[in-house]
């Protein structure tokens, strides 16, 4: 995508004390995934050769989360949080031998867009700083530019009134050639009130050495950083608004957009219909023409074209619904494949199962898949009929075109075309109900 190879360094070492949390700030969730996942996902669109995440506070937890989000990313450890330049220095040994453009991102800044990153990656300057026109510049560092590009970054406390009037401010995001970072990072000092090493010194050092330093700008909304729970809530609202707008633009029907919640990677095809109060967790794909009725929760699942889900259904990770499948109210599906045309009307749990095409699952059916230690699978063939309130004690197989009687407990395999009954024989005692109730009432009266 760019002329130069690209590497990403994502800074994710801070504690985020203003979050008032034991959880590292970058692991707080936005759009169903940790904050750091947004930077990783957008950065991956550049097809970088290397992705390095700098972890510090809660490094073990951050590394574990990153391994799930981006298995190819590598972790650099910043044992002491001594500033942004110090953090980047911890990552540079992992980029030994890399020659190209390094982009430094922040794990708590989730909205920087693909186009902005592409501009940083492809710019001809040796150092590129990402800036934005702030509605309220506040205490941001000001970017002072001239005919030859970025002249200097002036911190608010060091700025005179004329400089403070500048609305072009620094986002903190920076791109520079790897060779230049190797040269200048060791020269950065920490003679400041915080005693930290700041990445913002790089542009000044580079310019003094005759390198070209420029500014790329983006919309202020892209640079929103998360420092408090209130800001996290604001970011969630912004993320959901964008996701809803994008879905509508892509041809998805949202019956009540404000009540539908998306995850970062939610994928919905055109002409799908999504009802009110539907929540999408991570890893959901809904194909074109499917319908998700109100009050459903979906995570880690795939819904094929023509399928209907809900209302009040839950699809958990590993649920795979084939074409024209119907999953009704109060049905839960986990780690189970339902082939084309399967009908699961209501009040059912299917876990660790495979259900063949056109099979009907009666109300109250449960796959008893967990024995307290391990999970076991249930296999149900095509065109089978599972009677209401059937308990399928896994591992077990019900053959094609087979049936189970209502209220059965199935503990053995059922051959193709067979009827299985697994319930106690009914015994009827004429008149006993009336006599029993009379006796109970007399006893209570005593």
Residue 346 is among the residues annotated as catalytic for this protein:
yes
Q: CB neighbours of 421 closer than 8 A, spacing ≥ 6?
A: 404, 405, 408
Dihedral Cα 172, 177, 180, 184, nearest 10 deg = 20
Token pair recorded at residue 18: 């203003």
Which residue in this structure is represented by tokens 């109970």?
Answer: 440
Q: Both ends of the chain: CA-CA distance in Å?
A: 88
User: What DSSP character marks residue 431?
Assistant: T
As a whole number of angstroms, the distance between CA 319 and CA 334 comes to: 5
Per-position DSSP letters for 273-289, written without gaps between them: EE-TT-EE-SS-EE-TT
Residues in the chain: 446
Which residue is catalytic, options 302, 326, 346, 354? 346
Which residue in this structure is represented by tokens 């981006």?
Answer: 70
Q: Nearest CA to 37 among 26, 46, 49?
A: 26
Token pair recorded at residue 307: 């399928």
| Long-range CB contacts (within 8 A, 24+) of 220-224 | 220/132, 220/133, 220/134, 220/135, 221/111, 222/111, 222/112, 222/113, 222/116, 222/132, 223/109, 223/111, 223/112, 223/130, 223/132, 223/171, 223/173, 224/109, 224/110, 224/111
Report, as residue numbers or ranges, the catalytic residues.
346
């Amino acid at each position: 995508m760019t002329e130069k190879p690209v590497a990403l360094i994502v800074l994710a070492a801070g504690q985020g004390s203003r979050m008032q949390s034991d959880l590292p700030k970058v692991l707080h969730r936005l759009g169903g995934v940790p904050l750091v996942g947004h930077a990783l996902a957008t950065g991956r669109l550049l097809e970088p050769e290397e992705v390095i995440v700098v972890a510090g506070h809660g490094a073990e937890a951050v590394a574990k989360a990153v391994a799930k989000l981006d298995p190819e990313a590598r972790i650099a450890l910043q044992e002491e949080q001594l500033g942004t330049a110090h953090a980047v220095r911890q990552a540079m040994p992992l980029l030994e031998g890399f020659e190209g453009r390094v982009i430094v991102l922040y794990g708590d800044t989730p909205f920087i867009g693909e186009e902005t990153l592409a501009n940083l990656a492809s710019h001809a300057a040796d150092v590129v700083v990402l800036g934005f026109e702030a509605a309220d510049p506040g205490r941001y560092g000001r970017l002072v530019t001239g005919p030859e590009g970025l002249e200097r970054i002036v911190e608010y406390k060091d700025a005179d009134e004329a400089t403070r009037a500048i609305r072009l401010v620094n986002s903190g995001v920076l791109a520079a050639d790897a060779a230049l970072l190797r040269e200048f990072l060791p020269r950065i000092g920490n003679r400041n009130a915080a005693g930290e090493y700041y990445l913002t010194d790089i542009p000044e050092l580079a310019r003094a050495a005759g390198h070209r330093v420029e500014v790329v700008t983006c919309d202020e909304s892209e640079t929103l950083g998360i420092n408090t729970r209130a800001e996290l809530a604001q970011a969630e609202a912004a993320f959901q608004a964008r996701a809803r707008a994008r879905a509508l633009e892509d041809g998805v029907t949202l019956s009540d957009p404000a009540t539908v919640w998306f995850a970062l990677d939610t994928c919905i095809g055109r002409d799908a219909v999504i009802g009110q109060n539907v929540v999408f967790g991570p890893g959901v794909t809904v194909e074109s023409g499917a319908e998700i009725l109100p009050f459903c929760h979906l995570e880690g699942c795939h819904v094929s074209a023509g399928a209907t889900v809900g209302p009040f259904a839950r699809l958990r990770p590993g649920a795979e619904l084939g074409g024209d499948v119907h999953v009704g109210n109060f049905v839960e599906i986990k780690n189970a494949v339902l082939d084309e045309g399967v009908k699961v009307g209501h009040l059912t749990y299917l876990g660790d199962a495979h259900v063949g095409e056109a099979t009907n699952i009666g109300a109250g059916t449960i796959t008893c898949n967990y024995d307290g230690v391990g999970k076991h699978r249930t296999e149900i063939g095509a065109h089978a009929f599972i009677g209401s309130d059937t308990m399928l004690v896994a591992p077990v197989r019900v053959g094609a075109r087979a049936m189970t009687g209502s209220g059965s407990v199935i503990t053995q395999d059922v051959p193709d075309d067979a009827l299985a009954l697994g319930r106690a024989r009914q015994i009827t005692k004429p008149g006993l109900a009336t006599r029993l109730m009379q006796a109970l009432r007399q006893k209570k009266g005593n």
